[in-house]
Structure 1
Amino acid sequence: MTELFICEDNPAIAKQITAHAANVIEENKLNFTIKLTTSNPTTLLNIVNSSKEPGVYFLDIDLGSNVMDGIELAQKIRELDPRGFIIFITSDTEKFQHTFKYKIEALDYIVKQDTDNLEQRLLECLTTILSRNPKNNEQSLFSIKDGTRIITEKYSNILFFEVSSKVHKIKMHSLTKQAEFYGSLKDVETELLKHNFFRCHQSYLINLTNVKEVDVKNRFVYMINGQKCEVSYRALTELKKMMKKA
């Protein structure tokens, strides 16, 4: 699991970010764990110095420490963890712009006052990190932005996508949830072919990994949870071949 570190000198904000991050990780089954929440930059650096894997760091840019501020802390973290991800926490977005001259390569920033969108911003940051560092298909995520929300799910949990009864919408069925979003099945198919998905019908895109049975006579495919999808005549022959290879 990728470790998360939070360094914020305001106890209330630190508690809030930690709680929201934990909630985002739990709700979306993300492969992260919160390792440390602290106001002490030295404590954080000591742990980073002994860590072997890239981490994720949420740093207060205005860290009220007599040791170092958030930018100095980020520079030291970058020296110790060049492949880690840094996200600044700030009350002033203009200060984030100044970080570019220090070549810290921060991933993003989160505005302290924007509490209504805090979980959404945390989710955006974490899903971006996962998309850049997929260790394997089991941990990789399908992620799509739909208006103001981001829908995510592990590829391994997805059962199938189908054309929704609502115009221009696609419905995702997984082992943990159902979700609808604007898009076309063709676009989803293009993205997911490399993850063992198959277009069995003009209205269905199935995850071959989660197929339980193919009813050749009636042209249905049954998923591991019992749901079924229709199979077209044209796709049936190819589906049988692919299932034999699986």
Structure 2
Amino acid sequence: MNVFILEDDHNQQRHLKTMIEKISREISINELKIHLFTSTDQLKMGLPVASKKNVFILDLEINGIKTAGLEISRVIRKHDELASIIFITVHDEFVYTTYKYRISALDFIAKDRGNIQEELKQDLIHIQKEVQATATKELFTYKSYYEEIHIPYKNICYFEANHSNTHSSIMYTIDNQQIRLNYNLRTIVKNETHFFRSHRSYLINPQQVKHVDFLHHQAVFYNGLICPVSRRHEKELFKLIK
């Protein structure tokens, strides 16, 4: 989780950092990174790649400007639609204004209520659950003889029909593993939407295709693997990887 704190009071900034570190230990947040900013210009320069793991904790009043936090939140939301934004301030009257700005803030915590840590904790628990739910959706799940195994979709290149056993298939991964599955291609297609049927014997992950070789009727993957593509599916695959 990446936490970005905008607070111009150094004492309060350190207090928030300590608070978040404590919450992180309590709820077992993995790979916590905290970034501190005292001005909106600093934060603009440090905006990360969009991600559900990004959490922005903003004071509304920065360096004497009462709406500075709201104004930078608009920049953040335009740059990152996935991030969570939490306002911490003494200015209760700005609650309505957040809706006017259409920020979709997760929470609005008043400094003078005295329960900032508990409210922050509940917010971070909510964000952590959202991140975990998203991560689960990005996994391909299959069963071996002994256990259920999860692999990120992005780590899969393609599946090949196993001609020696029509009830199984072979999965090829980005690190050149070949894993035999107890499912045929028809079963995988029925249960998954991430893959493209490029050939009667192959099921491709377009995310890992570097380019389509129209001359040799092949898909070339980023890791160097190659697999056949039928002529009638070449253009469709090409559109998927553009």
Task: Normalising by structure 2, report the TM-score.
Answer: 0.51
Q: Who is 2:231 aligned against?
A: none
Partner SS for 1:19: helix
Aligned residue type for 2:101: Y
SS of equivalent to 2:29: coil
Number of aligned positions between the proteins = 134
How far did residue 32 of structure 1 move? Answer: 5.5
Is the 8 Å Cα contact of residues 13 and 112 (structure 1) preserved in structure 2?
no
- Could you say which structure has the larger radius of gyration? 2
Kindly indicate whether the alpha-carbon contact (under 8 Å) linking 1:7 and 1:58 is maintained by their aligned counterparts in 2. yes
Instruction: Report the 3-state secondary structure (helix = DSSP H, G, I; strand = E; otherwise coil) of the residue aligned with 2:46.
Output: helix
SS of corresponding position for 1:120: helix
Cα offset, 1:34, TM superposition: 3.3
1:51 paired with 2:49, answer yes
> What one-letter code is carried by the residue in structure 1 that aligns with 2:126?
T
Structure 2 counterpart of 1:127: 125
Q: In the TM superposition, what are the counterparts of 1:1-246 in structure 2 within 5 Å?
A: 2-31=1-30, 33-48=32-47, 50-54=48-52, 55-64=54-63, 69-115=68-114, 117-134=115-132, 135-136=134-135
Are the counterparts in 1 of residues 27 and 125 from structure 2 also a CA contact under 8 Å? no
Following superposition, the deviation at residue 133 of structure 1 comes to 2.7
What SS class does the counterpart of residue 76 from structure 1 fall into?
helix
Deviations 1:192-240 (A, max 9, x none): xxxxxxxxxxxxxxxxxxxxxxxxxxxxxxxxxxxxxxxxxxxxxxxxx
Deviation at 1:132, TM superposition (A): 2.4
Task: Give the CA deviation at 1:114.
Answer: 2.9
* RMSD, matched Cα: 2.1
**Contact kept? 1:61, 1:70, Cα under 8 Å:** yes
Contact kept? 2:77, 2:83, Cα under 8 Å: yes
The aligned amino acid for 2:97 is H
Output one character per residue of 1:79-114: Cα deviation in whole Å (capped at 9) or x when no partner: 111111100011022212211011101000121123
Distance 1:42-1:99 versus aligned 2 partners, 3 A rule: same
Q: Secondary structure at the match of 2:45?
A: helix
Structure 1 unaligned spans of 5+: 138-246
- The Cα offsets for residues 33-89 of structure 1, whole Å up to 9 and x where unpaired, read as 2331111212212221x42434100001112266x7111000000111111110001
**Amino acid in the other structure paired with 2:69:** G
Take 2:49 and 2:64, find their aligned partners in 1: how far apart are those partners?
23
Structure 1 pair 34–114 and aligned structure 2 pair: CA distance change class (3 A): farther
Once the 2 structures are TM-superposed, how far is the Cα of residue 136 of structure 1 from its aligned partner? Answer: 4.1
Query: Would you say the 8 A contact 1:6–1:38 is kept in 2?
Result: yes
Equivalents in 2 of 1:128, 1:70: separation in Å? Answer: 22
With normalisation by structure 1, the TM-score equals 0.50
1:71 is paired with a residue of what secondary structure? helix
Q: How far 1:120 sits from its partner (Å)?
A: 0.8
User: 2:83 and 2:117 mapped to 1: Cα distance?
Assistant: 21
Q: CA deviation at 1:118?
A: 2.0
Find the aligned partners of 1:65 and 1:4 in 2 and give their Cα distance: 23
**SS of 1:109 mapped into structure 2:** strand
AA partner of residue 110 (structure 2): V
Alignment match, 2:140: none
Q: Find the residue that maps to 1:51 and give its secondary structure.
A: coil
Q: Is the 8 A contact 2:85 2:105 kept in 1?
A: yes
The verdict on how the C-alpha distance between 1:32 and 1:92 changes in structure 2, with shifts beyond 3 A counting, is farther
Unaligned runs of 5+ in 2: 137-242
